[in-house]
A and B are shown apart, each in its own frame.
Chain A
Amino acid sequence: MDRGKIAELYRTWGPAIYRRCLRLLRDTEAARDATQEVFRKALSSPEKLVSADTALPFIYRVATNHCLNERRNAGRRGETELMDLDVASEHPDFPQRRLVQRVLARFDARTQSIAVGVLVDGMEHEEVADALGISRKTVSRKLARFLENARKYLERSAA
C-alpha cells in the first residue's frame, strides 16, 4: 500500500484509535504509542478499513486487545498509576464506581474485554458480541462469571 493511501486511512481512523487507547490507557504518551501499534496491526487487514460498518468494530477489537495487553504488562512492571477505569453505568452485581486493575487482572484476556465493554464502555451484550466477534451467549456467560468472582474478591478484600 502506498504512503498516500496509508496517510488517508490514518487520518480517517486514527482519531477513533487514539480515543480508544486514551480511554483505556489514560495517558496521552502511552495512547500515542499504542495508536501507532494498533494502526499498524489494523493495516494487516486493509479490507476491513474500507467502511465504517467494518472498520469501527475491527478497530475497537484490535485497540481493546492491544491496550488491555499493555495494561497487563504495565501491571507486571508495577506501573499501577492511572490504571483503574471508570464504570460507565451502574450494574446491580457490580456496585463499584471504578473497575480496578487488580480485579481486572484476575481474569483472562477475553473476559477482561467483555467486562470493559459492558461496564466501562456501557455497551449492550449484543454490541459487545458484535465488536469482539464472539457470541452473545459467550458474553453473558463470561460476564456472569466475572461479576460473581469479582464480587467475591471484593468482599474478601474488604473483610
Chain B
Amino acid sequence: MSHPSDLKLERHLLDPGQSQIGDHVSGCELCQGRLLAMRQQGEDFRRFVYPATLDEVSRPRWRPRQALWLLAPAAGLATVLLVTRPGPPADYVGTKGQPLELTVYVARDSSAHALADGESVPASASLRMRVHAASPCKLAVFSLDGNGESSNLYASPDRVSGAFELPGTVRLDGKVGPERIFAVCEAPKGPLEEAIRRVAGDREEGVRHNATLSDVEFRQTSVLIEKTP
C-alpha cells in the first residue's frame, strides 16, 4: 500500500478541508499515527523552539553602516568598494559553511549588501568577497556559471587564517543565469578539477543544486547568485 509523503501530510495538516488525501488518512492507521507525531512536533515547536528562537530570527540583517562605492579612475573599468566596518556577525544568513565561511557583497543603495544564498544580482554587478578560515588555509576561490564555465577568482600565495578580504572586485560577465562562487581550502588540483567537471556537466541545474563539491575531502563552502537582466 502506498502512503502519502511527508509533504502531502504537511498540506493536509495546514488545511484538512482542502486535502486530497483525506480519504486515505481517515482509513489508514499508519498515516493517522504519522499525523499525530507531526502534530506533537508542531506543538513542541510552538512551546519550546518558537519562544527560544524568535528573537534570533527577528533580528535585522546586518548591513555595513559605512560603506562607499567609488568608481575606479583607472580606465573606468572596475568598481571599488571600501568597507569601513569589519564583516558581519557570525550568525548572518549569507555566511555559511563552518569552519570555512564565504560572504559575497554587492553594492546596493550606496552600501555593501551581503548576499544570501540564491539571491539575485544584476548580471554585470561588481562583487567583493570575504572569507573566514578557522584554521590556516591555502585558499582558492572560483566561480562556476550555468554554461559550465569556471573562472578562477583568487588563489592565496600562502596560507591564510581568520577573516580575509579578497583584494579587488570581481565584475560579473553580464550573462543572465546562476553562478556559484566556491571557496576551498587545501584542494588538490586533480580531485578539485574532477569535482568541478561533475558539477559543470549538469550546467544550470548543477550550479543551482550543488552547494558542495562531492566526493572530496577538503574544506569548502559556496554561495549561489542569480544573475538577472
* A positions within 8 Å CB-CB of B: 3, 6-7, 10-11, 14-16, 18-20, 22-23, 28, 32, 35-37, 39-41, 43-45, 52, 56-57, 60, 65, 69, 72-73, 76, 88-89, 106-111, 113, 121-124, 127, 131-134, 138
Task: Give CA–CA (A65, B93) in the complex, Å.
Answer: 14
B93 and A37 within 8 A (CB): yes
B45 and A72 within 8 A (CB): no
B77 at the interface (CB under 8 A from A): no
A15, A39, A60, A109 interface centre (most CB from chain B within 10 Å): A15
Instruction: Known A56-B7, A65-B211, A127-B7; judge A41-B93 contact (CB<8 A).
Output: yes
Classify the secondary structure of A's interface with B.
helix
B117 and A18 within 8 A (CB): no
Residues on the B chain within 8 Å of A121, using CB:
5-7
Task: Give CA–CA (A154, B171) in the complex, Å.
Answer: 46
A18 and B7 within 8 A (CB): no
B135 at the interface (CB under 8 A from A): no
B199 at the interface (CB under 8 A from A): yes
B159 at the interface (CB under 8 A from A): no
- Smallest CB separation, B194 vs chain A (Å): 12
- Smallest CB separation, A11 vs chain B (Å): 7
A110 and B206 within 8 A (CB): yes
Instruction: Known A35-B53, A44-B119; judge A7-B7 contact (CB<8 A).
Output: no
